[in-house]
Amino acid sequence: MKWLLITLACLQLSECAIRVPLRKGKSTRQYLKERGLLEEYLSTHSYNPYTKYTGLFNTESMATEPLSNYLDMSYFGHISIGTPPQSFSVIFDTGSSNLWVTSVYCNSPSCQNHKKFSPSQSSTYRATNQPLSIQYGSGSMTGTLGYDTVTVSGIAVTNQELGLSETEPGHSFSNPEFDGILGLAYPSIASSGVTPVFDNMMTQNLVQLDLFAFYLTRENDAYGSEVVFGEVDPSHYTGEIKWVPVTHETYWQISVDRITVNFQVVACDGGCQAIVDTGTSLLTGPKGEISSIQKSIGATPFYGGLYSANCFEVNIMPDVVFTINGIDYPLTPSQYMLQEQGTCLSGFDGMYLPSSGGGLWILGDVFIGSYYSIFDRGNNRMGFAKSVQF
């Protein structure tokens, strides 16, 4: 499941170039953090979320992987493969289930300017004769499968099956910011029946809890994003975590009750299904319903299927409210509008992803950036809490 690359192609055009906004003044939280006083402050104030979950979250032992924010369009971190370790940048993608990286076997143009895994340089690599082919929403790869030690945020996963790319057609994966994809969805959708990385983490008892959580910064803030394995980082959210059951153990799929603007249902009337996907930049849904949202917020057609609005009017645009399991999750215009040079683009995009119950919605980075998202495999549920943006 990879839709961010459609938008990344747009970013390479001059009329779609990202404008980096002026930095805001430092918040109290940022000021305290820079001086090493944040944890002391949190521990002595009544709203401190640590106290509510004492004994559940051990921040001392967190397996935290920092993620780089590339223009609010993709988030990637680092892993190592083999012995001695070879380092790679990968997208941690909850919309797919395979791990693969560019390899020395690949001569496609998209493989250039990337780090390439060399099996001959790893004493722990074990080859197979099994081929691998993956088709994403944008882009594809073919290659071969092998086994090796994969280290993620200090967690060494032994005998991990991974893909070594041999072809990467087109230009979808030519972005030099990442060398591959690490899928975090359920094993039922893994190509070639491989066991995903997080499943091996659980089987090998490498995580304290069978869950992981994402915190994604926005407004082109390159640093601060992270994924945590086996724990939850309470410093990145405020309020209570609300839990939502997974409806299908394939993608991280959940039920949405409705989508409203100004208390009027504008989409998902009667309920719909949605995927929570860190590998998708925007928030997508069936084109007709997305058009209804665009009309309700005052956005107009812009370029390549995207919609825009006058940046001077963003502050008076309405919230778009997603009701999930009886809880409202509003997105403010500052959260769902993406600032570009001379204009503001809507973070909603029309795309039909078929399912047995109709078109699936994808709650991509536009949503996850606003709500700290916990992917709980142990209980097959999603957790959401309001994200704290520094």
Question: Which of 158, 185, 206 corresponds to the end of one domain?
Answer: 206
Q: State how far Cα 85 lies from the chain centre.
A: 25
Helices assigned H by DSSP within the chain: 4-11, 28-34, 38-43, 49-52, 197-203, 287-297, 333-336, 365-368
Same domain, 81 and 168: yes
Residue 274 has pLDDT above 80, yes or no: yes
Same domain, 200 and 99: yes
Which member of 72, 179, 199, 277 is catalytic?
277
Number of domains in the chain: 2
Same domain, 360 and 253: yes
**Which has more pLDDT, 197 or 9?**
197
pLDDT band at 23 (very low <50, low <70, confident <90, very high): very low
Same domain, 92 and 187: yes
Specify if 297 maps to a domain: yes
Specify if 220 maps to a domain: no
pLDDT score of 58: 47
Specify if 98 maps to a domain: yes
**Residue 203: is it exposed, middle or buried by C-beta count within 10 angstroms (0-12/13-18/19+)?**
exposed
Same domain, 273 and 177: no
Specify if 38 maps to a domain: no
A 10 A CB-CB count for 232 gives 25
Same domain, 243 and 337: yes
Same domain, 313 and 182: no
Specify if 259 maps to a domain: yes
The conformation of residue 194, written as its DSSP 8-state character, comes to: P
Same domain, 162 and 258: no
> In Å, what is the CA distance from 285 to each residue of 4, 95, 294, 325?
14, 15, 12, 19
Same domain, 253 and 175: no
Same domain, 105 and 190: yes
Q: Residue 93 forms beta bridges with which residues?
A: 183
* Domain containing residue 167: 71-206
The CATH number assigned to the domain holding 152 equals 2.40.70.10
pLDDT score of 44: 37
Which member of 93, 148, 349, 376 is catalytic?
93
Encode pLDDT of 219-257 as tens digits: 766 679 999 999 999 999 999 999 999 999 999 999 999
pLDDT score of 376: 98
Query: What pTM, to 2 d.p., does this model score?
Result: 0.84
Among this protein's residues, is 93 annotated catalytic? Answer: yes
Among this protein's residues, is 72 annotated catalytic? Answer: no
Phi/psi at 38 (5° precision) = -65, -50
Residue 29 has pLDDT above 60, yes or no: no
* Average pLDDT in the chain: 84
